[in-house]
Amino acid sequence: MTDTSPLSNNCVSSDSSFYIGFADDLNRKDWLFLFLSRYHFYLGKRILRELSRSLNSDSKFLSSIQSVEFDYYELMKPYFGRDPKHLDDGEYEAIGIAHYLFMKECLKYLIIDEDKIRNFVNKHFPYLTNKLVGSIGFIRDSSTKDKTINISCAIDILTATKNKIKAGKRVFGVDKNTYEIVVAPILEKLMVSRNNE
C-alpha cells in the first residue's frame, strides 16, 4: 500500500516499539487497532521489517496504516556519527517520515521510545521536538489532550504495561529501572483525573 490518502493534521510517525509493545509485549492488538482508527499512522518498509510476522502479515494492520517511501538517507547522513549500518534502523526512518509529514504540515506526533534517538532528534531536528513523545506519553496525550481514547482505556493500557514490566518484560522501551520515572506518575495522574470526573 502506498500513501494515497489525503493528509490530515492527525498524522503520526512511530518507531517499531509502539507497534511491538501492543501486538507482542501486551498481546493486545485490539488496543493497537483502536489507536490506528483514531490517527493516521505512517510507516516505511524498514519499520515494517522490524515488526513480527503477526503484524507485518496481518491484512487488517496493513490496511490500517499508510505506507510511505521517503528517502531519509540524505536527510540523516550529515548528522550521523554511528556505524552507517545503523542508518537502516527503523527509528531513523520514523524521523524521516516525521520530517516528510512536518513539511506537509500534518505531523501530530513522532513516537520514539529510545532515549539515544530522542536526543538525536532534539539535537539535529529541533523543529520536531514539540511533536516528539514516547509511547507512554502518546497514550497519555491521546486520553488527556486529544481525547481520542477515554481515560479508563489509557489506565487499562498502562496497568497492563505495569504488570508486564513488573514481571520482568520491557514494554515501550520501559523496564523495571525506569518504570517509576516514566509510567507510574502518568498512571497516577490519570487515576486522579478519572476519580475527579
CATH of the domain at 108: 3.40.50
The number of beta carbons lying within 10 Å of the beta carbon of residue 69 is 13
- Domain containing 155 equals 139-195
Among residues 80, 108, 133, the one where a domain terminates is 133
Q: What is the pTM of this model?
A: 0.89
CB 140 within 8 A of CB 186: yes
Residue tagged 481520542 (cell numbers): 148
Tally of domains in the chain: 2
Q: Which residues contact 174 (CB under 8 A, 6 or more apart)?
A: 113, 136, 161, 165, 182, 183
Looking at the structure, tell me whether residues 31 and 114 fall in a common domain: yes
d(CA 111, CA 14): 4
Give the mean pLDDT per block of 10 residues along the chain (197 residues): 55 96 97 97 91 93 88 59 61 90 95 93 94 98 96 97 96 95 95 84
Sheet holding 66-67, edge to edge: 66-67, 40-43, 11-14, 107-111, 132-133
Q: Give the pLDDT confidence score for residue 67 in this predicted structure.
A: 87
